[in-house]
């Protein structure tokens, strides 16, 4: 009889069978949105197979304990989003070695959708094109008919 254990984010793994390797947890990283809210991210290896719902994630380069954020996104179902992510290979080529995951709790005032937008505005990751201050300014100018 195999033993069943609960993995990260509640994923079930059956010991003694071919299962995904358990993620490598590297600790917590705290990011703030610049307007008063701090978010706790758990840090994992960039290639780890993780499970979670309604999360904010980031591809990051970790070097001696400091992190450079390359991309920030949100996922309703993390495993599906990461498995088909169009920017993951690019992030790895750019040096990303960590996948940072923020899972809001019922006590958080900010949803994962809003947290993603706030963090992109704050950090302006090089690989993000949506929700950046420059992109939103360009959209406003286009909306006013000043730029086509």
Q: Provide the pLDDT for residue 128.
A: 95
Q: Is residue 2 part of a domain?
A: no
CATH classification at residue 41: 3.40.1440.10
| pLDDT class of 130 with cuts at 50, 70, 90 | confident
The predicted model scores a pTM of: 0.74
Q: Please say if the pLDDT value at position 117 is more than 80.
A: yes
pLDDT digits (tens, 9 = 90+) for 65-108: 889 999 999 999 999 999 999 999 999 999 999 999 999 998 99
Q: Is residue 11 part of a domain?
A: no
Give the list of residues 6+ apart from residue 15 with CB closer than 8 angstroms, or none. 2, 3, 4, 5
Please tell me whether residue 50 adopts helix, strand or coil conformation: coil
pLDDT digits (tens, 9 = 90+) for 35-64: 999 999 999 999 998 999 999 999 999 988
Query: Which 3-state string (H, E, C) describes 88-102?
Result: HHHHHHCCCCEEEEE
Count up the domains in the chain and report the number.
1
Q: Is residue 105 part of a domain?
A: yes
The residues that bridge with 61 in the sheet, in sequence order, are 68
Q: Please say if the pLDDT value at position 141 is more than 90.
A: no
Q: Is residue 16 part of a domain?
A: no
Domain that holds residue 64: 22-143
Average pLDDT over residues 106-133: 90
Cβ of 110: how many Cβ atoms within 10 Å? 18
Q: Is residue 5 part of a domain?
A: no
Sheet of 98-102, strands arranged across: 25-32, 38-45, 98-102, 53-63, 66-77
Q: Is residue 130 part of a domain?
A: yes
């Amino acid at each position: 009889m195999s033993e069943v254990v609960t993995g990260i984010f509640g994923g079930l793994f059956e010991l003694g069978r071919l299962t995904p390797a358990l993620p490598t947890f590297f600790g917590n990283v705290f990011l703030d949105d610049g307007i008063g809210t701090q978010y706790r991210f758990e840090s994992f290896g960039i290639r780890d197979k993780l499970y979670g719902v309604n999360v904010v994630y980031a591809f990051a380069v970790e070097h001696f304990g400091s992190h450079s954020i390359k991309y920030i996104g949100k996922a309703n179902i993390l495993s599906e989003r990461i498995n088909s992510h169009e920017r993951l290979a690019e992030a790895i080529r750019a040096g990303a070695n960590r996948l940072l995951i923020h899972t809001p709790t019922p006590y958080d005032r900010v949803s994962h959708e809003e947290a993603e937008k706030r963090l992109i505005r704050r950090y302006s990751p090089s690989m993000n094109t949506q929700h950046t201050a420059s992109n939103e300014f360009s959209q406003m100018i286009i909306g006013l008919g000043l730029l086509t």
